């Protein structure tokens, strides 16, 4: 959950360490921020013209919403008496966790495959992945583990009834 929040908000999915401008730019889902001699501020990059970047933004947004929804449903199942034995909630939480994992997977794959080649050909001579991209990968892995745990719990509750 925290990995998803951090990766969604920070401008560090990728770095551009450009020797021509002697500065470093960090690229996130929504902002690009610089720290160098020429550019040190942040600018908004939502609504970009790059189709692949728009897909990454959309899929990461759906994944982010799904992670938050999964947390709400798990909290309901743990703390609300009416929801504790509700197999329907567990089933639909499992389904939405699978969809969330697929959305995050698409975002990570597209960003990972397009980022370096797009920057290398247009802007930078040394693009690198940032730590927010790594946290998105961790969020994807944690979501995959959650899917497995929810499937296991659903199987156990079905066997009891």
pLDDT for position 50:
84
Per-position DSSP letters for 6-43, written without gaps between them = HHHHSS-SEEEEETTTTEEEEE-SSEEEEEESS--SEE
* Rounded Cα gap, residues 21 and 39, in angstroms: 9
Determine the number of helices (DSSP H) and then strands (DSSP E) in the chain: 5, 5
CB 17 within 8 A of CB 124: yes
* Domain residue ranges of the chain, discontinuous segments joined by +: 48-159
Query: Residue range 7-34: average pLDDT?
Result: 81
- Positions of E strands within the chain: 14-18, 23-27, 31-36, 42-44, 127-129
pLDDT for position 37:
58
Say yes or no to pLDDT of 118 above 90.
Answer: no
Query: Residue range 96-123: average pLDDT?
Result: 84
Query: Residue range 88-102: average pLDDT?
Result: 88
pLDDT for position 124:
56
Taking the chain, what is the end-to-end CA distance rounded to the nearest angstrom? Answer: 31
pTM over 0.85: no
- Positions of E strands within 13-154: 14-18, 23-27, 31-36, 42-44, 127-129
Query: Residue range 8-18: average pLDDT?
Result: 85
């Amino acid at each position: 959950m925290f990995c998803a929040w951090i990766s969604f908000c920070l401008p560090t999915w990728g770095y551009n360490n450009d020797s021509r401008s002697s500065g470093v730019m960090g690229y996130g889902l929504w902002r690009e921020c610089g720290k160098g001699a020429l550019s040190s501020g942040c600018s908004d990059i939502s609504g970009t013209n790059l189709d692949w970047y728009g897909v990454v933004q959309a899929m990461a947004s759906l994944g982010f919403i799904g992670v938050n929804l999964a947390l709400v449903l798990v909290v309901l199942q743990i703390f609300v008496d009416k929801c504790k034995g509700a197999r329907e909630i567990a089933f639909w939480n499992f389904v939405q966790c699978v969809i969330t994992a697929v959305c995050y997977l698409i975002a990570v794959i597209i960003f990972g495959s397009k980022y370096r080649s797009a920057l290398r050909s247009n802007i930078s001579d040394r693009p690198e992945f940032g730590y927010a991209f790594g946290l998105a990968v961790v969020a994807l892995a944690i979501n995959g583990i959650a899917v497995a745990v929810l499937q296991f719990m659903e199987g156990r509750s079905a066997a009891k009834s």
